[in-house]
Structure 1
Amino acid sequence: MIRFENVSVSYDGAVSPAIRGVDLTVPEGELVLLVGPSGVGKSTLLGAVSGLVPHFTGGTLRGRVTVDGRDTRTHKPRELADLVGTVGQDPLAHFVTDTVEDELAYGMESVGLARDVMRRRVEETLDLLGLAELRERPIATLSGGQQQRVAIGSVLTPHPKVLVLDEPTSALDPAAAEEVLAVLQRLVHDLGTTVLLAEHRLERVVQYADQVILLPGPGEAPRMGAPADIMAASPVHPPVVALGRLAGWTPLPLSVRDARRRATALREHLTGRTPAQVTAPHPAPETPSGAAPGADAAGEGAAGEGRPAGKLRRLLGRRASAAPAAAPRRDTGAVATVTGLGVRRDRVEALRRVDLDVSPGETIALMGRNGAGKSTLLSALVGMIEPTSGTVVVGGRTPHRTRPRDMVREVGLVPQEPRDLLYADTVAAECAAADGDAGAAPGTCRALVAELLPGIQGDTHPRDLSEGQRLALALAVVLTGRPPLLLLDEPTRGLDYAAKARLVGLLRDLAARGHAIVLATHDVELAAELAHRVVILADGEVVADGPTAEVVVSSPAFAPQVAKILAPEKWLTVSQVRDALDDGTTP
């Protein structure tokens, strides 16, 4: 169905091609998973299938890509719309209408289908994707999983033979991700659709793939094969595969069910051993320069001043002032205290009666389904949203009443969309601005970028980075200031496992130095590796708050793969198991 013949893609000014030497065939009616480290060209390869590369993105495509016989170099995306449906990482960026039914019909209108054909296909798609009850709903009111299903439905109504998806579950909670993957399996099994998707969260999808394409990185040819065979050699692999490698299981398991069947000996081997728990450190941080604790009124503006999202960069202090980096306070009190917090947006009560204390050196994972209120809580902590009721105190200040140039000394936020923080023309310029704004030594931000994602060139434009690379750059920009309280909204979206491991190491080091970290995430594996505490939100309320192992092991939705495999014992990560197997024997 899809044929790559010695394909390479190069962009102007790039040191090396984005992809090179791709020579393989994707069979019809299969779900094929595209994997590889961040920045190896997965999105470029997907774009070459839909015609977006090179017709929309520019660059030079060498070789030949054909989809059902059509050459994508000589056919523009519009000429492939009836054959290839494309869904990007952000479904909201995909929509052009306001309601579900209109969005499903739009693609057919674009290709000029008859009205009666359009009506029938809309009904078929509503039933296929379980969207019938949502047909008249405004898209903006849907959950993340529902929006992703609508995005898929909108490209399905023209009846394409190929569906191309880029990180379809990266922004979804575990339940919503399962909804989307169930839809994809139905398309493959029942309709014979060819699905080609790139995904970093392999623990969610690898067990459903018929074949896997591995883009290993520069200098290595792409490989395609059975999932277990590719995972045995892949530098990126899910925890279930890492556990299988550690235990010496052959063939490697790809699902929790397969691993549980083989884990009897491992469970017996671990009997009587206690996993090393992630516990909050007891740091002795330095006294900060800047305002003294409790100096709230001095930095406050008029009460009730809201800060819209469009002022995010100013709020975070980019170019607002060259404020020196603030270290955590010497006192043992909370870095942030939330009491009875309520936030109402129009008619929606986004948060209600939320209580939360964040201590120095503590890492807290906020979890819950899409729309539960996680991002709203982070926005209240940084001062972007004024509470409807209750109080928020960060570093002795009331965030929404404090000037941004003063608030940036206390808290830094990395939002879901890293582009909100990036506005310079090069990575080097972004880093230089971050060093100046934080009063840090020149090269501090650049060193953080190199630590998170090695190999990014300083003269690269941020828009030319992959989603994961842009996120790493935004993280480095905020981390340069080393704020006492660091807020991260979906920090691993677009990051591969190696980049995630580097991020975990960096955040652990910050916590050990006394920085408090609150991260909103759907990544259960990240929470298991990093969080001392997990707080689960549902419909704007806290429904669980406790040590990570206590909260996630008992939750089918939020338990990591290792916990599911080795239950009922409270093992959370492969590293815990590796540390416990210190006698050199193989279970």
Structure 2
Amino acid sequence: MIEFRDVSFTYTGASDPVLHDVSFQIPEGDLCLLVGRTGTGKSTLLRSINGLVPWFDGGRLTGTVQVDTMVTSQHRPRDLARVVGSVGQNPLAGFVTDKVEDEIAYGMEQLGVAQPAMRRRVEDTLDLMGIADLRHRPLTDLSGGQQQRVAIAAVLAAQPRVVILDEPTSALDPTAAQDVLSSITTLVHEVGLTVVVAEHRLERVMAFADSVAWLPGDGSVQVGPAGDVLARADVRPPLVGLAQALGWSTVPLTVRDARRRVKAEHIVLTDPPQAPAPDGPVVLTATKLVVDYGETRAVNAVTTAFRAGEITALMGRNGAGKSSLMWAMQGAVASSGTLEVTGADPRTVSAEKARELVTLVPQTAADLLYLPSVGDECRQADKESGRDEGTAAGLLSELGVALDMGRDPHDLSEGQRLALVLAIQLSSRPRVVLLDEPTRGLDYTTKAHLATMVRTLASRGVCIVVATHDVEFAAASTDRTIVMAEGDIIADDTTREACTASPTFSPQLAKVFWPQPILTVADVRRGRRQQADGAIRP
């Protein structure tokens, strides 16, 4: 169905090719998972399948990319649209209508699908993606995860033979991600749909993959069975890390396979030590905080408090009220109830004073970047915060990120942009930092660096709250976890307790070693060392 023959591609002005002499095939009815660190060419490879490379991206393409019977260099993307459907990283940027139902129908209208067939497909796709209750909702009123599901639905409704997905689960909660991937896999197995997925959260997708294509970053693409390729790739989801920690030569692709192997080898680990709870002073208190959007109640009389030096994960399904609570605590949306940050209410003080109390990094960090260079952004942050010039740039260095002050911020990687925005926001020395889905679009190495940055801030007494669907990041990086549902807080405990008490919010290794409270590969390595030292015998 998809074939690359001796394909190389170099962007205009670049000295080295992104893809170099690439040859592989993806059979009809396969789900192929693209893996690789940020900047290795995954998006370029995807865009070469639907013809955006080279027709819209420019550059020099050699070799042949063939989809079905169509050679992409000879057919424009509009010609390929009947065969290939695409969902990008930012769904909102691709929407062309105002409401959910209209967006799902739009692609079919452009393809000339008859009205009766169009209506039937809309209904089928709404049910398939579990979004029938959203059909009349404005797209801009949806959460990021809901927008992601609508974008996928709009592509599937047109019934292409090939679907390419760029980070399809990045904005989805664990249950929604499982539902979406199950729906797509059903189409792969029962309809013969061919799917190519680029994803950083491999733990969510690897069990569904028929093959894996790894882009090491040297222009090559290595394709093969998932277990074989992941065993040598430089991106390491938890089950790959587990295999390496336990000396396994093959990688289990599912929790079931890993759990069976652990049982068969009688692997027993000591429980991780209980981490001391942060005992800093309370810096943020919310009492009966309410957020309403018209007749919709997003935050329902929430009462909670956060301490200095504490890192809290805020979790829950899409639409549970996490982002609304974060924006309310920052004072940026209308809310009722009591809100106090070190004795002041951020809703009633000046913007300058509010920045010193609490700051928020939104889901799309680049939304806060508007100047032509990194240096300009840093200097503007210093000016707005009333700090000495060089404060924001110094914070960037303290976070362990070295950036060329002359670079355009929009040319940076996702991780670099996030670090820049974090430094800008920290220039006002806020007592509380709120991060909304900070790991979206980040590879494992960059997420590990983000975790280090967050820990560094907490060690300096900053209170940090992270709204996230990334259970692996939460398990490795936070002290406390709050779970929300329908605007209410339904659980509030240490992260280790919260992530082992719920199968929905459990990381993979917690499921592998249950009932032991093992959360991370670091827990496994620690337990193995203690076992080797004679602390425990199987």
Tell me the TM-score normalized by structure 2. Answer: 0.91
Aligned partner letter, 2:178: E
Distance in 2 of aligned mates of 1:127 and 1:374: 25
What is the correspondence of 1:535-554 to structure 2 with a 5 Å cutoff? Answer: 535-554=482-501
Q: Work out which of the residue numbers 270, 273, 282 in structure 2 matches 1:276.
A: 273
Q: What residue is the counterpart of 1:238 in the other structure?
A: 237
Q: Which secondary structure state, in structure 2, belongs to the residue aligned with residue 155 of structure 1?
A: helix
Change (3 A) 1:243 1:367: same
**Cα offsets for 1:187-240 (capped at 9, x unmatched):** 1101111100111111111111001111112x3622111111111111112112
On the 8 A contact 1:449/1:472 being kept in 2, the answer is: no
**Separation in 1, partners of 2:391, 2:40:** 25
Q: Which residue of 1 aligns with 2:85?
A: 85
How far residue 94 of structure 1 moved from its aligned partner, in angstroms, is: 2.9
Change (3 A) 1:343 1:207: same
Distance 1:435 1:134, change over 3 A: closer
Distance 1:171 1:480, change over 3 A: same
Q: Per the alignment, do residues 342 and 566 of structure 1 end up closer, same or farther by CA in structure 2, a change over 3 Å counting?
A: same
Could you give the per-residue CA deviations for residues 27-83 of structure 1, whole angstroms, max 9, x where no partner exists?
A: 221000011111222112211212223333444434332212323233222121101
Secondary structure of the corresponding residue to residue 253 of structure 2: coil
| Aligned CA distance change for structure 1 residues 527 and 131 (closer, same or farther; 3 Å) | closer
**Residue in 2 that maps onto 1:111:** 111
**Structure 2 alignment gaps of length 5 or more:** none
Deviation at 1:505, TM superposition (A): 1.1
Please report how far the alpha carbon of residue 263 of structure 1 lies from its aligned counterpart in structure 2 after TM superposition.
1.2
Structure 1 contact 452–503 (Cα < 8 Å) conserved: no
Amino acid in structure 2 at the alignment position of 1:86: S
Q: Secondary structure at the match of 1:164?
A: strand
Matched with 1:534 is 481
* Secondary structure of the corresponding residue to residue 400 of structure 1: coil
Distance 1:225 1:71 in 2: 24
Counterpart Cα distance in 2 of 1:63 and 1:453: 38
Q: Note the alpha carbon deviations across 1:480-506, whole angstroms, 9 max, x for none.
A: 555321110001001111111111111
Partner of 1:247: 246
State the 1:98 CA deviation: 3.5
Change in CA separation of 1:571 and 1:227 when aligned onto 2, cut-off 3 Å: same
1:491: which partner in 2? Answer: 438
Give me the whole-angstrom Cα distance separating, in 2, the residues matched to 1:544 and 1:121: 39
Letter in 1 for 2:88: G
Separation in 2, partners of 1:17, 1:280: 50
Secondary structure at the counterpart of residue 581 of structure 1? helix
Q: Deviation at 1:409?
A: 1.9
User: Which deviates further from its counterpart, 75-84 or 439-448?
Assistant: 439-448
The change in CA–CA distance for 1:403 and 1:131 in structure 2 (over 3 A counts) is closer
**Number of residue equivalences:** 533
Alignment of 1:105-504 (within 5 A): 105-126=105-126, 128-130=128-130, 135-136=135-136, 138-139=138-139, 146-217=146-217, 219=218, 221-264=220-263, 268-270=267-269, 273-281=270-278, 333-388=281-336, 390-434=337-381, 437=384, 439=387, 442=390, 445=393, 448=396, 459-504=406-451
1:15 CA displacement: 5.6
Alignment deviations for residues 353-388 of structure 1 (CA, whole Å, 9 cap, x no partner): 211211111111111111111111111222202322
- Give the secondary structure class of the aligned counterpart of 1:269: coil
Confirm or deny: 8 A CA contact 2:17 2:219 kept in the other structure.
no
Single out whichever of 151-160 and 379-388 deviates more from structure 2: 151-160
**Percentage identity across paired residues of the two chains:** 50
Displacement, 1:340?
1.3
1:262 partner amino acid: R
Instruction: Give yes or no for contact 2:146–2:318 (8 Å, CA) kept in 1.
Output: no
User: Could you tell me how far 1:250 is from its partner in structure 2?
Assistant: 3.7
**Residues 1:211 and 1:446: Cα distance change in structure 2 (over 3 Å):** farther
- Paired residue for 1:509? 456
- 2: distance between equivalents of 1:210 and 1:579? 33
Q: Distance in 1 between matches of 2:297 and 2:12?
A: 48
Question: 2:373, 2:25 → 1: CA distance?
Answer: 37
State which drifts further: 487-496 or 241-250: 241-250
Equivalent in the alignment of 2:76: 76
Does the C-alpha gap of structure 1 residues 52 and 167 become closer, same or farther in structure 2, counting only changes over 3 Å?
same
Aligned-partner Cα distance in 2 for 1:160–1:571: 42
Q: Which stretch shows the higher mean deviation, 122-131 or 365-374?
A: 122-131
The alignment yields a C-alpha RMSD, in angstroms, of: 2.7
Q: Is contact 2:100–2:139 with CA below 8 Å preserved after alignment?
A: yes
**Which ranges in structure 1 are unaligned for 5 or more consecutive residues?**
283-331
1:559 aligns with 2:506: yes
Q: Is the 8 A contact 2:215 2:222 kept in 1?
A: yes
**With structure 1 as the length reference, what TM-score do the two structures score?**
0.84
1:111 positional shift: 2.0
